[in-house]
Amino acid sequence: MRPRAEKNSTTEESEGERLLQAFGGDDEDNEDDENEPYQYKLLLKNFMYALIICILFSYSFFTHLLKMHGSKDKSMEATSLKFPSSGSGIRVSVENVVHSAINKINFNPTNNASMALSVCAQQYNAQPLTGRCFGLATHTQFTKLRKVRVVKTAAACRDLCCQLGIECQTWQFWLDATVCKLGGAASIGREGEQPSSSSSSFLTDKQKQAPWCDALPPVTWRGSRVSSRNETSVGWTEEVLQTQCYGLQSQNQLGAASTDASGSQMEEKCQYACAADITCVVWQYHQDRGCFHGSNSQTLLCEPYSGKFDGRMKRRPST
């Protein structure tokens, strides 16, 4: 009887194994199936940790670059990475860090320079300096610009002034000679405000050396120099002074009595008045600007350049 019972037990076990395999396999397979979600979670957790390490490294790298460029953003110091101690997900508050770093750092120095020059160009007055400016220096006289050999455009001259910062407040480009002049803040029309030597005596030496610009653009003049003088006659040079001579004194009162006189008549009167004045060595006349005489050849400057000018001066801060 006992062997038969063992046979039945063996038969029942074999049938149970077949049912178990048919409806889900053995216990080891079931355990592997139950471990698969945990393995995915562990893999995701490790990935998140690796991502956090990359973000921390990037944050340190960006901050280091900002320190090197002297543009560290205080808002970045206040931004922190938050790791909750509990919860199914890991939240990292780095959005502000990334955006701030991207906005502060530009890996293309050319773009940075172009942006700085664009901002600087907006600091100049809209009024162009079309009259000759004095007291400015050629760009190669500045140490920072000695490597710049040729300046071909007015915009390039302006950019050089921007590169000098506060050292340059005024720039002027000689259009027909491709010459770039740079310097400090200039006054407008100072030469026109000094019709006599008495008025210039009130200026200090520093004011006399300060840059100033003619308020009017160049025009073609008529005039000449005294070549010889005696008691009965005055000789004139053959050279016609077509460009403006600076340091002359206005003689516009000559035409006050005869306002209907033509340009040629006024020109003759201007020349005759210079001949009658034993101190006069140069005369010039223009129908729109009048008659001018010069009495000291050492202080006279007749412009050798007959072309046009372009330039700007930085706006002075309002007080």
Mean pLDDT (the chain, rounded): 75
Q: How confident is the model at residue 317 (pLDDT cuts 50, 70, 90)?
A: low
The residue-averaged pLDDT of 260-289 equals: 88
For 123-134, the pLDDT digits (tens) are 888 889 999 999
Structure tokens at 227: 């070549």
Residue 80: its pLDDT value, please?
Answer: 43
Express as a percent the part of the chain with pLDDT over 90.
34
**pLDDT at residue 315, rounded to an integer:** 86
What torsion, rounded to 10 degrees, do the Cα atoms 102, 105, 111, 117 define? Answer: 120
Q: Over pLDDT 70: what percentage of the chain? A: 62
Q: Is 151 exposed, middle or buried (0-12, 13-18, 19+ CB in 10 A)?
A: buried
Beta strands in the chain (DSSP E): 133-134, 137-138, 170-174, 179-183, 187-188, 212-213, 222-229, 234-236, 245-246, 249-250, 282-286, 290-294, 301-302, 309-313
Question: pLDDT at residue 69 above 70?
Answer: no
Q: For residue 300, what pLDDT is reported?
A: 82
Residue 147 has a pLDDT of 92
Length of the chain: 319
Q: What is the pLDDT of residue 155?
A: 93
Longest dimension (CA), the chain: 171
Grade residue 15 by pLDDT with cuts at 50, 70 and 90. Answer: low
* 65: its two tokens: 């670059």
186/210 Cα distance (integer angstroms): 7
Domain boundaries of the chain, sorted by first residue? 15-104, 117-189+309-313, 219-302
pLDDT band at 243; cut points 50, 70, 90? very high
Q: What is the mean pLDDT of residues 17-30?
A: 53
Residues 6 or more apart in contact with residue 129 via CB below 8 angstroms: 170, 172, 186, 213, 309, 310, 311, 312, 313
